[in-house]
Amino acid sequence: MAQKITIEPVTRIEGHAKVTIHLDDAGRVADARMHVVEFRGFEKFSEGRHFSEMPTLTERICGICPVSHHLASAKAIDDIVGVRPPRPARLLRELMHMGQLVQSHALSFFHLSSPDLLLGFDSDPMTRNVFGVIAAAPEAAKKGIFLRKYGQEAIAAVGGRKVHPDCCVAGGQSRTLEPKHREWLLANLKAAYEAAETGIAVLKGWMDKNPELLKTFAAFDSNYSGLVTAKGGLEHYDGFIRMVGPNGEKLEDMVDSHDYLSIIGEATEDWSYLKFPFYRPQGYPEGSYRVGPLARLNIIDDIDTPRARAEWRNFKGINNGKPVTGSMYYHYARLIEILFGLERMEQILNDPEVLSEDIYEPSSVIRPQGVGVAEAPRGTLFHHYWVDEVGRIEKVNLIIATGQNNNAMNRGVREVAKQYVKGEKIQEGMLNRVEAAIRCYDPCLSCSTHAVGRMPMVISLVSSEGRVIDQVIRSDKA
């Protein structure tokens, strides 16, 4: 008799999801799906607002990566007024962006995923959390906390506050960087590097002990997409879209952000509020692709900062130069990006123009539409606005990183379920492994559904007739 297992809510992720695992008559996994059950509707209720409000309005989509929305939105409205902000303004934006990259990746690795790595997938769920990590590795925990704090201070230094900054306006920035903030960030950079290196050492220790799991856990071929510099280097704020295939072959390269709709389509499924973007020439689902840290490190030709480059070369060696497929390698990619973020911050903080007051270029032009694209911590973020002649929003299209990883997360869940789910009864270790496959992608479901309500996942075991025969429900308390 065919059956279905449901995991709800998925824990240690940002947002509310559930997983259903369908078993065939022989009790083997036939299919698995991650359902995103939140709905918010930001695209709809932005209509009628003035475009100048969009950076502060859309950043409310998220409490973790508001900076990314603020920046992508700011770039879209720069486009509407036809202005490229002065270089000092772009430096400030990128400084804030790198602060967010560091704090968000630190939260994902140290707070959400390190319990699985340091304590084990099968450890007691009551202690498999940040308290358990602190007890097991207090010095690493302190460094993780410091990294998050450091990133947040960078955001506050540029944006005025740690969450939901309000500094970006059409044509530039509304505030300069104060010298005392620059000095604090430079003075604490060494400690931030040490913290990042500690994270890499912790992960490498785990990787050395788990080579087989790294190779097989949610590992599959896919396309990968992200922004690159004009020279094909790692890029998060500006650049061009690149899409590569499973063997690293370039499917698209140097695509201007304005042309994103020519290569990206969006499919829907009736069991999730989260859309399924795909590479248009290949159709859906064949054209599904991955974004985020793993994808970014898979698509680039180089990194132009020394520490991150050295680590990236190790990363490239994992699959002999071809794209790295294992989802657990997202964690390694995330830590390499923390290094890059810190190095880029150092470059910017030492740039004489970072304290400049030339941060705004006025314009009275209103063009009918604007596109802003940036690499959020979780992947590429698209903001596209259409406005009327006085600047009122007529239509909004937001394509969020987590949506672009939707099919990959579903595939990861399916692969892990097939590997670990045995029989009709749900085992806790199985449940946690399925969740860990999702956590690799560090999904931000509030962002991607544009959600109300409590964050956290249900696993249900259901027969072919639709009867639930077993269920595990998690609240937001362990």
Task: Answer yes or no whether residue 134 interacts with other proteins by CB under 8 A.
Answer: yes
Q: Which is nearer to other proteins, 87 or 149 (CB)?
A: 149
Among 6, 11, 173, 405, binds other proteins (CB under 8 A): 11
What is the Cβ-side half-sphere exposure of residue 73, based on CA atoms within 13 angstroms? Answer: 30
Residue 126 or 187 having the CB closest to other proteins: 126
CA atoms of 92 and 67, how far apart (whole Å): 12
Give the whole-angstrom CA distance, residue 349 versus residue 3.
Answer: 57
For other proteins, the closer CB: 90 or 148? 148
User: Residue 469 has which token pair?
Assistant: 């025969």
Q: How far is the CB of 16 from other proteins (least distance, A)?
A: 11
Indicate the residue among 51 and 146 with the shorter CB distance to other proteins: 146
452 makes contact with other proteins (CB under 8 A):
no
CA angle, 328 as apex, 324 and 334 as ends, to 5°? 80
> Are the C-beta atoms of residues 443 and 291 closer than 8 Å to each other?
no
| Contact between 80 and 369 (Cβ < 8 Å) | yes
- Residue 72 near other proteins by CB under 8 A: no
Closer by beta carbon to other proteins, 60 or else 316: 60
Q: How many angstroms separate the CA atoms of 184 and 204, rounded?
A: 30
Please state, in angstroms and rounded to a whole number, the distance separating the CA atoms of residues 92 and 64.
Answer: 19
CB of 6 to other proteins, least distance (A): 17
Measured at the CA of 292, the angle between CA 85 and CA 86, to 5 degrees, comes to: 5
Interaction of residue 63 with other proteins, rule CB under 8 A: yes
Q: Which is nearer to other proteins, 40 or 162 (CB)?
A: 162
Beta-sheet pairing, 250-255 with 240-244: antiparallel
161-180: contacts with other proteins (CB under 8 A): 161-164
Our finding on whether 13 is near other proteins (CB under 8 A) is yes
Q: How far is the CB of 476 from other proteins (least distance, A)?
A: 5
Instruction: Check residue 322 for interaction with other proteins (CB under 8 A).
Output: no
Cβ atoms of 157 and 181 closer than 8 Å: yes
- The verdict on 149 binding other proteins (CB under 8 A) reads yes
Chain centre to alpha carbon of residue 255: 21
Tell me which residues touch other proteins (CB under 8 A).
Answer: 11-14, 63-64, 107, 111-112, 126, 129-132, 134-135, 138, 141-142, 145, 148-149, 152, 161-164, 455-456, 474, 476-478
